[in-house]
Amino acid sequence: MSAARLPTRQAIDIRSHRKPSATARRRELELKLTELQQHYAELRTEIFEAAQVHRRLCAPRQLRFGDFEVASEIFAVRHLPGDFFTVQQQYDGVVFALGDICGKGLAAGMWTTHLVGLLGARMAVNATLEGIVAGVNRDICLLKSFMPLVSLFIAKLDHNTGLVKYCSAGHPPAFLLRANGELELLSDGGMLLGVVAAAPYVCGSFTLGEGDVLMVYSDGITESQNVAGEEFGYGRLEDQLRRAAGGAGRVGTETPQCRTADGMLFSVLGAVQDFAAACPLVDDMSLAVIRRQPAEQPTA
């Protein structure tokens, strides 16, 4: 009797394992595609919100402190930049910092909030720039297996006297272009943050006089490449800074529209973009220009 019922059970088993129809399969794929599109839209929204957080952490594009103008801009190579530029006004001056977290994209950008927080915490308990940088370096070294290396240029401006103290932690040398055309490269400081916990750091100083310009940048500027694989480099950056400053030095002519921090900023950025043309960015780019107005130039 059980043997007689066996074919019936076999038939039922065969039907239960029959492949779905083409219509059912198409419907299943459409549902999966809709789900993926929804997840992608949510991811884009979250990346946009993260970019807005990064923007709020960084300084406004234009600032003014007495006779001093500050202009800055950051371009991300992948969604969220690992570069940042912050400005904090204190009772005895203005502290600004430009940092570059090694790497690019979300992996680097996600560390920006943490690093800016470390800087803020160290500023609250350290009176000197070298103390701030050394403290942040130790903090990063505690997370050495997680956090990438960081280059940093931090400076404090006394906007009453023009005295600037600075510390460069493995950062590309800042350009100080004097009103008379002389150029100084600023690199006093120490090694990259996150390498050695006990690394020493020192400060340099200078006075930003009338008509002088300080330009700080990340290596994404100098490493931008053209179609021939050539890098923009330090020489072109210096030439463009001189041109944007109104012809101070060996190239360029008087260009009044560039003789503001903001005008100079976009003149230099425009030159980098023209050089790279259609080539994609190779790294995040950040640029900050601090300029002291000449006495004869009226404020806006």
Contact predicate 283/220, CB 8 Å: yes
Q: Tell me: the pLDDT tens digits for 39-56?
A: 766 666 656 555 555 566
Strand, coil or helix: 186: strand
CB proximity list for 187: less than 8 A, separation 6 or greater = 168, 171, 173, 174, 204
Q: What is the distance of C-alpha 127 from the center of its chain? A: 25
Phi, psi dihedral angles at 205 (to 5 degrees): -150, 155
Q: What is the pLDDT of residue 251?
A: 39
For the chain, domain boundaries? 60-292
Look at 244 and 8; give whichever has higher pLDDT: 244
In whole angstroms, give the CA distance from residue 270 to residue 150: 26
Per-residue pLDDT band at 22 (split at 50, 70, 90): confident
Sign of CA dihedral 8, 14, 20, 22: negative
Q: What is the pLDDT of residue 174?
A: 97
What amino acid occupies position 115? Answer: L
Answer yes or no: is pLDDT of 166 > 90: yes
Q: Tell me: the pLDDT tens digits for 169-196?
A: 999 999 999 999 999 999 999 999 999 9
Q: What is the CATH architecture of 60-292?
A: 4-Layer Sandwich (3.60)
Q: What is the pLDDT of residue 255?
A: 47
Helix and strand element counts for the chain (H, E)? 8, 12
Report, as an integer, the average pLDDT of 213-218: 97
